[in-house]
Structure formats: structure tokens, C-alpha cells
């Protein structure tokens, strides 16, 4: 099974998992509403989450920071938790972006084969100069 098919299967499996999680949360938060209403809200929530993942990851990070700092009622603690969580989340996002960039270099190598060929040519040229 190729990597692209596995990637698509991962996202295809993640969508129902997110939808089920949203429906479960809505069932706990809105027990007096009908199941159809809770399912509709879950579909809308999941759709908005997927759109934020695709088109606005910075907005998603801000939403995560707000969610992490919301349990604190004391304003000083809330601001401190928000500051600490924004530093942590942005650091982790930076690490993820660096990993994606490095993996992109290897992906280009796999597609073109030019990077290793160029390195081999340099090594051969070095050996030729020495000899």
C-alpha cells in the first residue's frame, strides 16, 4: 500500500472520529436537544474544524490557546496560562514545520534523485583531484 493511499485512509478515518467526538460532546452539552439537532451541530463543528485545519492553522492555534486557558477564572492565572500555552504551542508548531521542510527535501530527492547523484559526483570529483 503506497504512502499516499495510507495518508488518504488516515484522513478518511479521522473525519468520522472527529464527527463522533463532536456528537458525543454535543450529547453531553445539550441533552435536551434532539439527536438530529446534535448531529447537525456536530457536522457543522467538524466542517469548520477541517476548514480551519486546511486554510487557517494560525486561527486554530489561537483557538487551542483560548481553550487551554479557559478553565482559569482568575484573570492573572488565565493570562499566564495563555502566555505559557501560546509559547508551547507555537514552539511545537515550529518544530512540526521544520520536520515538514526536511521531509520535503527528502521527498524531492525521492522524486528526482538529483540530490544524492550530485553528492556522489562531488565525491568522485574529490577523489579524482586527490589522485
Kindly state the percentage of the chain with pLDDT values over 70. 99
- The span from the CA of 101 to the CA of 71, in Å, is 35
What pLDDT score does 33 carry?
A: 94
Look at residue 61 and tell me whether its pLDDT is greater than 80: yes
Q: What is the DSSP track for 34-88? A: -HHHHHHHHHHHHHHHHHHHHH-HHHHHHHHHHHHHTT--SHHHHHHHHHHHHHH
Kindly state the percentage of the chain with pLDDT values over 90. 27
Contacts of 109 (CB under 8 A, 6+ apart): 115, 116
What pLDDT score does 4 carry?
A: 76
Nearest to 16 by CA among 56, 46, 54: 46
Q: What is the pLDDT of residues 78-131, one digit of tens each?
A: 889 889 988 888 888 888 889 888 888 888 777 777 777 787 888 888 888 876
Look at residue 17 and tell me whether its pLDDT is greater than 90: yes
- The span from the CA of 78 to the CA of 60, in Å, is 19
Amino acid at each position: 500500500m503506497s504512502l499516499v493511499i495510507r495518508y488518504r485512509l488516515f484522513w478518511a478515518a479521522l473525519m468520522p472520529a472527529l464527527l463522533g467526538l463532536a456528537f458525543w460532546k454535543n450529547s453531553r452539552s445539550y441533552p435536551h436537544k434532539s439527536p438530529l439537532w446534535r448531529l447537525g451541530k456536530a457536522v457543522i463543528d467538524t466542517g469548520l474544524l477541517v476548514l480551519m485545519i486546511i486554510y487557517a492553522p494560525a486561527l486554530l492555534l489561537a483557538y487551542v490557546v483560548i481553550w487551554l486557558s479557559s478553565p482559569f477564572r482568575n484573570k492573572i492565572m488565565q493570562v499566564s496560562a495563555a502566555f505559557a500555552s501560546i509559547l508551547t504551542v507555537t514552539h511545537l508548531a515550529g518544530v512540526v514545520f521544520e520536520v515538514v521542510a526536511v521531509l520535503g527535501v527528502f521527498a524531492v530527492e525521492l522524486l528526482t534523485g538529483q540530490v544524492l547523484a550530485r553528492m556522489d559526483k562531488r565525491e568522485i570529483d574529490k577523489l579524482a583531484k586527490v589522485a
